[in-house]
Amino acid sequence: MVNRPPGSRFGLGIGHCTIFKSMPLVEVRNLIKVYAADEGVFGKARHNVRAVSGVSLDIHAGETLGLVGESGCGKSTLGRMVLRLIEPTSGSVVFNGHDVLAAPPGELRRLRRDMQIIFQDPVGSLNPRMRIEEIITEPLVIHAEGSDTTKDSLHQQASEMLRAVGLDESALRRYPHEFSGGQRQRVGIARALALQPKFIVCDEPVSALDVSVGAQIVNLLQKLQREFGLTYLFISHSMPVVRYLSDRIAVMRQGAIVELGTSEDITLRPQHGYTRTLLEATPEPELKLS
Ligand SMILES: Nc1ncnc2c1ncn2[C@@H]1O[C@H](COP(=O)(O)OP(=O)(O)OP(=O)(O)O)[C@@H](O)[C@H]1O
Ligand SMILES: [Mg+2]
């Protein structure tokens, strides 16, 4: 792996060592996932897929770390393991000082309040039979733990979240199929924000949208990051989108991070041949993102 001094607004690069102002919010160490696929007749795994093979990286509070690589390289598996939505084969994830993989159910539930995910496909990730108000407030009810879950309070919180993502309050009574793809993604973002998390894994949140709608969502994510002090792991196969949003970029290939550095270094001074290939393969988007 080529790992260069970040020098972004979150860190000072001195030679090859980096001094960040605080401990990382997320510390990933030697994370491995082997999927046992193609079970044989004797129940023995004949063909294992090594989706993530020994990834280590830090994500600092307030930054966006972009994770870029071609389809099937292990981006979603890595992102979900960080949230423990997929159990790793081995390795460790420390979030805000807590060992996520060793956390017993109660502690994991508390950690989950602070760690959310936005999915690529807002259709598949929103329950079609629930009204938007229920979709947004469901996490608040699940994680109530003594907080105010009266109907009025939930309604007010859902309205606030909808406003934050640029939707009108009238949306609360409607169902997911009554919205466009971009609006549905805004609902997915409002749901992820409901618990006021610190950290969000954005797993290809604009890949299913056309370029102009995707650009609006990208700009919304940036605005929300400023407003709510969010930290993002932003997954995409698109170098221009990742470059636009990220403070640092991790380039992933076949389950491993081959290069990690500031957006500027990765895009202007790539060290790894695969990064150069990705940059050459991806033309600039037609649309201005800001
Ligand atoms: N549940 C599973 N069982 C077996 N193999 C899996 C499973 N999920 C993913 N894989 C395999 O693991 C590898 C990594 O998949 P993953 O979805 O993490 O890639 P990705 O980089 O997110 O791809 P994409 O850009 O297409 O979303 C692929 O080879 C995939 O086929
Ligand atoms: Mg994926």
CB atoms within 10 A of CB 263: 19
Q: What is the pLDDT of residues 157-166, one digit of tens each?
A: 999 999 999 9
State the residue range of the domain holding 37: 2-122+201-281
Q: Taking the chain, what is the end-to-end CA distance rounded to the nearest angstrom?
A: 32
Contact 154/172 with Cβ under 8 angstroms? no
**What is the Å distance from ligand 1's center to 80 Cα?**
11
Q: How many domains does the chain have?
A: 1
Has residue 150 been placed in a domain?
A: no
33 φ/ψ angles, rounded to the nearest 5 degrees: -135, 120
**What is the Å distance from ligand 2's center to 289 Cα?**
23
Taking the C-alpha atoms of residue 281 and residue 145, their distance in angstroms, rounded to an integer, is 49
Q: Is 54 left (phi over 0), alpha (psi -120 to 50) or beta?
A: left
Complete DSSP assignment for 104-161: -HHHHHHHHHHEEEE-S-HHHHS-TTS-HHHHHHHHHHHT-TTS---HHHHHHHHHHH
**120 CB within 6 A, ligand 1:** no
Q: What is the pLDDT of residues 181-225, one digit of tens each?
A: 999 999 999 999 999 999 999 999 998 888 889 999 999 999 999
**What is the Å distance from ligand 1's center to 51 Cα?**
6
pLDDT of residue 8: 40
Q: Please check the confidence at residue 42 and state whether its pLDDT lies above 60.
A: no
Has residue 267 been placed in a domain?
A: yes
SS3 (DSSP) at 153: helix
Has residue 8 been placed in a domain?
A: yes
Residue whose CB lies within 8 A of the most ligand 1 atoms, among 73, 204, 234, for a mutation test: 73
Has residue 167 been placed in a domain?
A: no
Has residue 180 been placed in a domain?
A: no
Has residue 132 been placed in a domain?
A: no
pTM listed for this prediction = 0.89
Has residue 37 been placed in a domain?
A: yes
Amino acid at 251: V
What CATH number does residue 73 fall under? 3.40.50.300
Has residue 75 been placed in a domain?
A: yes
pLDDT of residue 15: 36
Contact 121/96 with Cβ under 8 angstroms? no
**67 CB within 6 A, ligand 1:** no
